[in-house]
Amino acid sequence: MNCNVNLMREGEAVAAEPYEYKECGLEGIFLHNGYDIIEHEGERFVSVVDTESLHRSIGEFLVVQKKELAPNEVRFLRKTMDLTQSELGRWMGKDSQTVARWEKGQTDIPTVADRLLRAIFLLRTMAPEERENFLDILKDIEDMDDLTPRRVEMYLNRDGNWHDGLRRHATA
Residue-level pLDDT, tens digit, the chain, 172 residues = 333 334 444 555 555 578 888 999 998 888 888 888 888 899 988 888 888 889 988 998 999 888 899 999 999 999 999 999 999 999 999 999 999 999 999 999 999 999 999 999 988 887 787 777 777 766 766 565 555 555 656 777 778 778 666 554 444 4
86 three-state secondary structure: helix
Q: What is the pTM assigned to this prediction?
A: 0.68
Do 10 and 77 share a domain, yes or no?
A: no
Residue 56 in domain:
no
Residue 116 in domain:
yes
Residue 4 is given by DSSP the state T
Report how far residue 154's alpha carbon sits from residue 166's, in angstroms, rounded to the nearest whole number: 9
Report how far residue 18's alpha carbon sits from residue 27's, in angstroms, rounded to the nearest whole number: 14
Element housing 14 (H / E):
strand 12-15
Q: How many domains is the chain built from?
A: 2
Q: Which domain holds residue 105?
A: 68-148
Residue 124 in domain:
yes
Torsion angles phi and psi, residue 139, rounded to 5: -65, -30
For residue 85, the domain's CATH number is 1.10.3100.10
Do 5 and 41 share a domain, yes or no?
A: yes
Do 123 and 85 share a domain, yes or no?
A: yes
Helical H segments across 40-110, by residue range: 51-63, 71-80, 85-92, 96-104
